[in-house]
Amino acid sequence: MLSWRINRTLDSLVGRIERTTVLDPIANRGAALALKPLDASVGLRNVLSGTAGGHPLHPVLVVVPIGAWLGASYLDLTGGQQGRAAATKLVGLGIAAAVPTSLTGASDWAYVRGAERRVGFVHAVGNSLALGLYTGSWFARRRQRFALGTALAGGGALLLGFTGWLGGHLSYARGVGVDTTAFDGASTDWVDVLPEAELLDDQPMLVRDGRTPVLLVRTGGQLYAIADRCTHRGAPLHEGEFTDDGCIICPWHQSKFRVSDGQVLDGPANRSQQAYEVRTRYGSIQLRHADEPGSLRTDPIS
Ligand code: FES
């Protein structure tokens, strides 16, 4: 009884945030500002998006300030006078760690739109307020005003609880940061997708493996096929630029993927594209997925 009431209240609250279009001008301005350095530097995009690690960096970094700050509150409650110095250090550590954590979050946020952008905006504003409270707490502790420092940290922790829930909503309910092909089914049997004569050299084409869009290209006499939906935010890769070095540049945010194996080379994407096996039989191009599909990729109807 209580759990569904809490669930419904939170859902209703986040639903309101998602529909609050009055946030758009300021949120869009903020996103445009965040995109400027990202558009200018591939290296910065790769670092902040976690391209090398294969997963978004923000959820990894976020544990440092949250852990440090909650540790400080724990010491405030249980550490007595001996815990004060350590609690002050933990608050300071959380403040320092909040800087790279915010940058990675801003990078992820810059590439979402609409409802996700609004929720992300409120998440960021709430986290900034929490950072302000912890900064005030740190200064208060440095001036030996530990009761004030404890109270400010407590307020920050409460705020973080809410903003953390919003961050979870973005990932688990809205799928921000999730590989957009995670649920794509793919046939492990050979499937005819296109007459061979219809494919022109170095011109990527969209074909379908059942309902799953696949990018097909022939270059240097070799056929290649990778998932067409960009793992980052789902752009149709066949509309992107095919480069001389055998890569496709995403038309939305310029992630770069090698078509021979789907490997992501440049972000903001951090997941590679699924690669397919390709062959020709009797003038027809066929493809299949080499791997057994994961459980979430299995069609439950069939
Ligand atoms: S959709 Fe963002 S890089 Fe492809």
Q: How far is the CA of 102 from the centre of ligand 1 (A)?
A: 21
Which residue is closest in CA terms to ligand 1's atom 1?
233
Compute the mean pLDDT over every residue in the chain, rounded to the nearest whole number. 93
Instruction: Give, for ligand 1, the residue of 108, 229, 238, 250 to mutate: max count of ligand atoms closer than 8 Å to Cβ.
Output: 250
Q: Domain limits of the chain?
A: 2-173, 191-297
Q: By the 8 A CB rule, do 118 and 23 touch? A: yes
Q: Is the pLDDT of residue 297 over 70?
A: no
Would you call 112 helix, strand, or coil by DSSP?
coil
For residue 268, is the peptide bond before it cis, meaning its omega torsion is within 30 degrees of 0?
Answer: yes
Q: How confident is the model at residue 293 (pLDDT cuts 50, 70, 90)?
A: low
Under DSSP, the state recorded for 263 is -
In DSSP notation, 142-206 reads: HTT-HHHHHHHHHHHHHHHHHHHHHHHIIIIIT-TTS-TTTT----SS-EEEEEGGGPPBT--EE
227-270 pLDDT tens trace? 999 999 999 999 999 999 999 999 999 999 999 999 999 999 99
Q: Is the pLDDT of residue 302 over 60?
A: no
CA angle in degrees (0–180, nearest 5) for 106-41-259? 100
**Architecture in CATH for domain 191-297:** 3-layer Sandwich (2.102)
Parallel, antiparallel, or unpaired for β 205-209 and 191-195? Answer: unpaired
CA angle in degrees (0–180, nearest 5) for 97-101-106? 150
CA angle in degrees (0–180, nearest 5) for 268-96-78? 125
77-86 pLDDT tens trace? 998 888 999 9
Q: Is the CB of 235 under 6 A from ligand 1?
A: yes
Q: Is the pLDDT of residue 299 over 90?
A: no
126-174 pLDDT tens trace? 999 999 999 999 999 999 999 999 999 999 999 999 999 999 999 999 9
